Chain A
Amino acid sequence: MTFNFAKNAGRILGYAGAVLTLSATTALADWPEKAVTLVVPWSAGGGTDATARAVAEGLEARFGQPFNVVNRTGGGGLVGHTAIVQGKPDGYTLGVITIESAMYALQGLPGVTPEDFTYIGRFNADPIAVNVRADAPYDDVQGLVEAVKSDPSALAASGANRGGLSHLAWVGLLSAVDIDPAQINWVASDGSAPALQQLASGAIEVVSTSPAEARALVEAGEAKTLALISGERSSLYPDLPTTDESFGIEWSPLPFRGLAGPKDMPADVTEKVSIALKEITEDPEFLEMMSSRGFSVAYQDAATFSQTVHTAGSSLGVAMKAAGLGQ
């Protein structure tokens, strides 16, 4: 049987819509009638895992079904993000996604693009900060940038893999103040812990990572945090200046954590979870847990979150091109 696509498109869409609505209504009536899997693309014990478990606990209390946190790690989060994308869009496979989800496609890695998710809501966003050794000869970020300007390859910086968010944040900052990113010396590390170890041992000069992770070293008098690479000051670190105010630029690469599911999830399930997530982010117990670990709470609803991810994707794409990594 052959048929004209254009002629029948409306009808097909109608059927598809009916099927979707049907599945949506069943979901509305019953969801969740069994345990929900919450995929976390990062390892147990890390920040994403801890916040995910707190969110899962809140969802469990609100929906009366277990929300099982499953860590699917590896490949810089790609394995877990792929697991979320490839889940059945029935509301029983959800996941906590991070900004990396918007970066894989830019790096030329297959399987995950910002279009592959149903966005539910964001619950956390923390800026990256510029950290240097405590005995470094500059007291503010302007001094550091001047030093980089005079000899871009002399200062080694680290914080993540090449093309990781830490790297892009640093590259984006430098290219915004007219330093050729191709000349800077980025030392690829496996996350912030080894980078901070390198900083403390005096092997490198700059680490770009969240102020929460550098906190212990700063308190030990081994390191100092100069500024946040962000557009607005953080309520947790009100004294830290931002690079936007220091240089009059606009560069705000905000790492986030949010709930999402596979593409084409029933809209009512998404809405239910989104509302529950909003309630959780207003729960005093959750707020206390987040602030004790140095994480800020920053809720966004499904539509805004989706927009945030897409915007982040395009602006990071620009930074990647600047770093010579764009595909």
Chain B
Amino acid sequence: MMSFEVLMQALGNVMQLGVLTAIFLGASYGLFVGALPGLTATMATALLVPVTFYLDPLPAVALIVSSTAMAITAGDIPGALLRIPGTPASAAYTDEAYAMTRKGKASEVLSLGFFFSAIGGLVGAMVLLITGPLLARVSLNFSSFEFFWLACLGLLTCALVSSSTPAKGGVSLTLGLLVSTVGLDITTGQPRFTFGSVELFGGISFIPVMIGMFAVSEVLRGFSGRAEVIPHPPKGEVYHPYRGMFSLVKRYPLSILRGTSLGAAIGALPGVGGDLAAWIAYGVSRRFSRTPEKFGTGHPEGLIEATSSNNSGLSSAWIPALVFGIPGDAVTAIAVGVLFMKGVAPGPRLFVENPSMPTAIILCFFLANLLLFPLGYIAIKAARHVLSVPRAVIVPMILVCCFIGSFAVNNTMFGVWTMLIAGVIGYVMERNQYPIAPVILGLVLGPVLERNFIMSMQISHGDLLGFFERPVSAVLGLIVCSIVILTLVRSLMRKPKLTIPEVVASDISLPTKGSSK
């Protein structure tokens, strides 16, 4: 697919001082922005757009590529140390990472994040180099019918597989799905649950909710005296980043393989890919693990799979954007814009007329992921200082970051209020053992699920069988249906261990007469 000549030419283009500087600066910048709790990779990319005005096409794209690769990985640092996920994808495994930190394994969890992200990214870039245009063609065959089933699959793995209490996970997920219906409905153009507030017309953004539910609820728990104290790193002992990583590679080779290939495949689907890959990878890892009971207690297996899928999906999201000009997420949308502005129009002609350009972009991914090793080393070394800061100092700093992050989403106080309210709700949910990660997934996938369902129904004139008419859609649909049916059958076959306590009439508070008006 990719001739040696083109590869050499692309390599020559990348190995220029300007491009290498752009990759290095982009990576350092991405590390900084990503590591700040509450600031996201999308924001990091958007801030770079004005800078790219002054650059040549390749350095401009290299800057974006390396800063996003780094920002997404670095977003796992506040996730692991402070429980503030950097992206909706990392919300899938934030609890697991934080659990490891609480066990005193902060160095290990950070090393793991950087190491396996880099591996995932490198493998993902390799896969792209070989199969890029082919993958793009396959992804173009996905219509709303297939996307609907994929979204269902994502929700199912989250509710049934990732959570140790499926019923409570389901409740959290439903809450997220319900909140995602707030705002202008695209089908009818009518506002739903907006109560006349213009801010609510835009819906409830998942970023302030994510920051609030994870970080603010953690702060609240600290005030209530319920927080588990994170063990300080022992004084004098030096962190050894990446120690023990190779033994993890030997122990979980299958997880790495599954994670990276899942990431590369799902990431190439525009619209849903990037956010879904890590959730499905984490769910799959738990399903096929020999020790699923360890998940959620700070176990590296699921983390390895999810974090490697995250970075390998990152590069494949560029493929539909480069080949067909269909951007899959906010980052690639910005990148397509920058490419256009530089006179490099994405499209198949790019691959025919100027094949070294797309190859060079993939090589930039390669280099950016290689840079994860040394920059991650510095970050891990620095991270121990975060943990040695007294709680009285770090809590206000977390809150300031939360405020900035949620304000910056749309430059309004509305985001800040959303975050605070979500924080209180998250706190209450967790005190009652309801997981909060599914809320985020519900919020992210809700619109995807609804839009694709409605689009499909409009295409098939309301015929539900339309979901089984296209071959890929039918296969996906059968998988989803069989997971649901198998789960139901299994729970029915199982003899109930506990008899359901009889509901006493007086337990249900009925509205008294006259109180409703």
Q: Decide whether A and B assemble into one complex.
A: yes
A residues with a Cβ closer than 8 A to B are: 43-47, 49-50, 53, 57, 70-76, 78-79, 82, 107, 109-111, 153, 156, 158, 161-164, 185-190, 193-194, 196-198, 200-204, 213, 215-217, 219-222, 289, 292-294, 325
Q: How far is the CB of B147 from chain A (nearest CB, A)?
A: 9
Q: Give which listed residue, A156, A213, A222, contacts B140 with CB less than 8 A.
A: A222
Q: How far is the CB of B52 from chain A (nearest CB, A)?
A: 10
Instruction: List the B side residues contacting A75 at CB < 8 Å.
Output: 183-184, 191, 198, 201-203
Q: How far is the CB of A308 from chain B (nearest CB, A)?
A: 23
A220 with B461: in contact, given A45-B334, A197-B271 (CB under 8 Å)? Answer: no
User: In the complex the two chains form, is A200's CB within 8 Å of B324's CB?
Assistant: yes
Give the complex CA separation of A156 and B447 in angstroms: 21
Instruction: List the A side residues contacting B184 at CB < 8 Å.
Output: 75-76, 78, 109
A76 with B189: in contact, given A50-B337, A220-B323 (CB under 8 Å)? Answer: yes
Q: How far is the CB of B338 from chain A (nearest CB, A)?
A: 8
Asked whether B330 is an interface residue with its Cβ less than 8 Å from the other chain, the reply is: yes
User: In the complex the two chains form, is A72's CB within 8 Å of B333's CB?
Assistant: no
User: In the complex the two chains form, is A198's CB within 8 Å of B143's CB?
Assistant: yes
User: In the complex the two chains form, is A325's CB within 8 Å of B189's CB?
Assistant: yes
Give the complex CA separation of A162 and B436 in angstroms: 34
Q: How far is the CB of A101 from chain B (nearest CB, A)?
A: 14
A201 with B141: in contact, given A72-B412, A78-B184, A217-B325 (CB under 8 Å)? Answer: yes
Task: Kindly specify which of B291-299, B346-354, B359-367, B396-404 makes contact with the partner chain.
Answer: B346-354
Instruction: List the A side residues contacting B454 at CB < 8 Å.
Output: 188
B residues with a Cβ closer than 8 A to A are: 45-46, 49-50, 53, 140-146, 183-184, 186-189, 191, 196, 198-199, 201-203, 205, 270-271, 323-327, 330, 333-338, 340-343, 345-349, 410-412, 447, 451, 454-456, 458-459, 461, 470
Q: Give which listed residue, B186, B333, B341, B349, contacts A190 with CB less than 8 A.
A: B186
Instruction: List the B side residues contacting A200 at CB < 8 Å.
Output: 140-141, 324, 326
Q: How far is the CB of B16 from chain A (nearest CB, A)?
A: 22
Residue of B nearest to A198 (CB): B143
Q: How far is the CB of A223 from chain B (nearest CB, A)?
A: 10
Q: How far is the CB of A211 from chain B (nearest CB, A)?
A: 12
Instruction: List the A side residues contacting B333 at CB < 8 Å.
Output: 43, 45-46, 193
Give the complex CA separation of A219 and B353 in angstroms: 12
Q: How far is the CB of A31 from chain B (nearest CB, A)?
A: 23
Q: How far is the CB of B132 from chain A (nearest CB, A)?
A: 14
Q: Give which listed residue, B187, B189, B326, contacts A196 with CB less than 8 A.
A: B326
Residue of B nearest to A74 (CB): B202
Q: Give which listed residue, B140, B187, B341, B345, contacts A188 with CB less than 8 A.
A: B187
A189 with B455: in contact, given A44-B46, A216-B347, A293-B341 (CB under 8 Å)? Answer: yes
Residue of A nearest to B146 (CB): A201
Residue of B nearest to A294 (CB): B340
A201 with B140: in contact, given A45-B46, A75-B202, A188-B455 (CB under 8 Å)? Answer: yes
Q: Given A45-B335, A201-B143, 13 more contacts at CB 8 Å?
A: A45-B333, A109-B184, A161-B187, A185-B458, A187-B458, A188-B451, A189-B451, A193-B326, A197-B271, A200-B326, A220-B324, A292-B343, A294-B340
User: In the complex the two chains form, is B183's CB within 8 Å of A74's CB?
Assistant: yes
Give the complex CA separation of A78 and B202 in angstroms: 8
24 inter-chain pairs at a CB distance below 8 angstroms, sorted by A residue, are A49-B49, A70-B411, A71-B46, A73-B202, A74-B201, A74-B202, A74-B410, A75-B183, A75-B202, A76-B186, A109-B189, A110-B196, A153-B461, A162-B187, A163-B188, A185-B461, A194-B270, A194-B455, A197-B270, A200-B324, A201-B141, A216-B326, A217-B324, A217-B347
User: In the complex the two chains form, is B458's CB within 8 Å of A188's CB?
Assistant: yes
Give the complex CA separation of A263 and B343 in angstroms: 38
Q: Give which listed residue, A45, A107, A203, A213, contacts B143 with CB less than 8 A.
A: A203
Residue of B nearest to A111 (CB): B198
Instruction: List the A side residues contacting B186 at CB < 8 Å.
Output: 76, 161-162, 188-190
User: In the complex the two chains form, is A82's CB within 8 Å of B198's CB?
Assistant: yes
Instruction: List the B side residues contacting A70 at CB < 8 Å.
Output: 411
Give the complex CA separation of A217 and B136 in angstroms: 12
Q: How far is the CB of B324 from chain A (nearest CB, A)?
A: 5
User: In the complex the two chains form, is A194's CB within 8 Å of B349's CB?
Assistant: no
User: In the complex the two chains form, is A107's CB within 8 Å of B189's CB?
Assistant: yes
Instruction: List the A side residues contacting B50 at CB < 8 Å.
Output: 53, 57
Q: Give which listed residue, A163, A187, A197, contacts B459 with CB less than 8 A.
A: A187
Give the complex CA separation of A128 and B304 in angstroms: 47
Q: How far is the CB of B359 from chain A (nearest CB, A)?
A: 18
Instruction: List the A side residues contacting B455 at CB < 8 Å.
Output: 158, 187-189, 194, 198, 203
Give the complex CA separation of A220 and B326 in angstroms: 12
Give the complex CA separation of A39 and B141 in angstroms: 37
Instruction: List the B side residues contacting A158 at CB < 8 Å.
Output: 455
